[in-house]
Amino acid sequence: MTKPFHDMPFKSKLPNTPASIFSRMSALAQEHQAINLSQGFPDFDTDPKLIEAVTKYMNEGFNQYAPMPGHISLREQISFKYDKFYGINVNPADEITITAGGTQGLFTVISAVVEKGDEVIIFEPAYDSYKPAIELMGAVVVPVRLMAPDFKIDWEYVRSLVNSKTKLIIINNPNNPTGRVFSVDDIQQLEYIVSAHNIVVLSDEVYEHMVYDVHKHISVLSSEILRSRSFVVCSFGKLLHTTGWKLGYVIAPAFFTIEFRKVHQFNVFSVNAPMQLAIASYLDDIDYYYSLPKFFQEKKDFLLHALKDSRFNVLPTQGTYFMLLDYSNISEEQELDFAERLTIEHKLAMIPVSAFYTHGDNQQLLRICFAKKLQTLTAAVDILKFI
Ligand SMILES: Cc1ncc(COP(=O)(O)O)c(C=O)c1O
């Protein structure tokens, strides 16, 4: 008799990869009808003008495959933005590819660059998709642990990790979950390391337009040295409050883009056609980019002010729409235990920061997402003030 498949030996390619903490906390929030500040998505509406534009292109019949690298009107719009914002020249024809969100961009870069046995340096706390993608390629993750309160990078230590197997360094600037933004010095230190070795850079810049106070976003594209060896990943989900649309893009020099597209075309081939066209027309209004940091700064400042009298210590947020709360004045519980208890007993869900590390110590930190309506944030503050 033939054996059923589940009785046959089958080796998982990702044996140590649990379900994501975001799904776990969101499910717990739903079960206990808690306010969900755990997952990184807005709870406010998408601009009706953008939705109308998608409907318009659908009605006009743009419902078949888009070109493999993306609609040229959208790639031109992206190129226009880099010119206007940073004075950087990006060629829409052979340096930009439209992807199914930032996540697909990240995965495709890693697939195109990383080989079995390579080493990839990542900075932790890190976005959760980097590690499994590297491991699927048979490569080795080399984590650099950054710790609260400032999560400063010790570049001397990073240099000590580089060897002949180091293929890629992944940075996330502005960083989820720390809210930290790269300084001029960070960029120079990175330049120094990668130019001394043959290392590729993957720069995850999905929060580039959410930078506050005196801080400025410095893209790796603004450095001659980094630009020639970097892939930059961006997300329209973050930019336009449309995380469910899963659209983004990757910028890289032409010779890298050729390699990227070889994988991209057999991964998704091309991505959502009417939405690409709608986004291209919507972004004709360049003021949108300028309005975004102000929009989120108000939410950040509201929380900062409202939590002054609470027992939580708020860590500074330089960028992104995340804020870290230190609860060491309240409890010695492990982060996951504390986060679960708050969800169940106080009806407020947040993310334990230890989940962003390979081996997470208890720093007594929780991450909240403030891309929420004022009403949601006010309700959350009313809970946090009394914990
Ligand atoms: C740092 C970082 N990179 C990439 C992504 C993925 O972006 P997308 O939703 O466009 O796939 C996220 C989403 O939360 C993120 O926080």
Domain CATH for 37: 3.90.1150.10
53 falls within a domain = no
Residue 23 CA to ligand 1 center (angstroms) comes to 14
Peptide bond into 132 cis (omega under 30): no
Same domain as 344, residue 371: yes
**Domain endpoint, select from 285, 311, 346:** 285
- The pLDDT of residue 199 is 97
Q: Are residues 96 and 233 in the same domain?
A: yes
Q: 237 CB less than 6 Å from ligand 1?
A: yes
Contact call for residues 379 and 368 (beta carbons, < 8 A): no
Nearest-atom number in ligand 1 for the CA of 104 is 11
Rounded CA-CA distance 307/381 in Å is 7
| Cα atoms found within 13 Å of the Cα of residue 327, Cβ hemisphere only | 25
Residue 6 lies in a domain: no
Report yes or no on 184 lying in a domain: yes
CA-based nearest residue to 220, from 206, 196, 201, 192: 201
* Per-residue confidence (pLDDT) for residue 18, from 0 to 100: 79
Question: Quick check: is 51 in a domain?
Answer: no
> What CATH number did the domain enclosing 146 receive?
3.40.640.10
* Residues 86, 218 within the same domain: yes
What pLDDT does 10 receive? 84
Probe target for ligand 1 pocket from 238, 240, 276, 351, with the most ligand atoms within 8 Å of CB = 238
Looking at the structure, do residues 119 and 180 belong to the same domain, yes or no? yes
DSSP H/E element including 59: helix 48-59
Instruction: Judge if 170 and 126 occupy the same domain.
Output: yes
> Is the minimum distance from the CB of 175 to ligand 1 under 6 angstroms?
no
Sheet holding 200-204, edge to edge: 96-99, 248-251, 230-235, 200-204, 166-172, 119-124, 140-145
Kindly state whether residues 109 and 220 are assigned to the same domain.
Answer: yes
179 within ligand 1 shell (Cβ under 6 A): no
Residue 237 sits in the same domain as residue 100: yes
Boundary-marking domain end, from 285, 316, 333: 285
307 plus 253 within the same structural domain: no
- Closest ligand 1 atom, residue 172 Cα: 1
Q: Are strands 200-204 and 230-235 parallel, antiparallel or unpaired?
A: parallel
- Compute the distance between CA of residue 250 and CA of residue 97 in angstroms, rounded to an integer: 5
| H or E, element range at 201 | strand 200-204
309 alpha carbon to ligand 1 midpoint, in Å?
Answer: 32
How many independent structural domains does the chain possess? 2
Whole domain around residue 39: which residue ranges?
A: 21-46+288-384
- DSSP code at position 19: S
Q: Is 248 in the pocket of ligand 1 (CB under 6 A)?
A: yes
Whether 166 and 239 share a structural domain: yes
Q: 285, 300, 315: which is the final residue of a domain?
A: 285
The dihedral sign for the CA sequence 339, 343, 349, 355: positive
Q: Is 243's C-beta closer than 6 angstroms to any atom of ligand 1?
A: yes
In the chain, which stretches have pLDDT less than 70?
Answer: 1-7
From the CA of 176, give the closest atom in ligand 1. 1
Alpha-carbon distance 93 to 353, whole Å? 40
Pair 220, 163 in one domain? yes
Give the pLDDT score at 67. 98
72-86 and 273-282 helices cross at what angle (nearest 10)?
A: 30
Instruction: State the pLDDT at residue 6.
Output: 67
Instruction: In whole angstroms, give the CA distance from residue 85 to residue 193.
Output: 27
Whole-number Å distance between alpha carbons of 206 and 322:
13
Neighbours of 22 (CB within 10 A): 16
Question: Do 120 and 232 belong together in one domain?
Answer: yes
Residue 323 falls inside a structural domain: yes
Query: For residues 107 and 127, is the Cβ–Cβ distance under 8 A?
Result: no
In a domain? residue 157: yes
In a domain, 8, yes or no: no
319 lines ligand 1 (CB under 6 A): no
| Residues 269, 147 within the same domain | yes
Q: Are 105 and 264 in contact (CB under 8 A)?
A: no
Q: What is the pLDDT of residue 16?
A: 83
pLDDT of residue 321: 97
> Which residue's CA is the nearest one to ligand 1's atom 14?
40
| Residue 55 is assigned to a structural domain of this protein | no
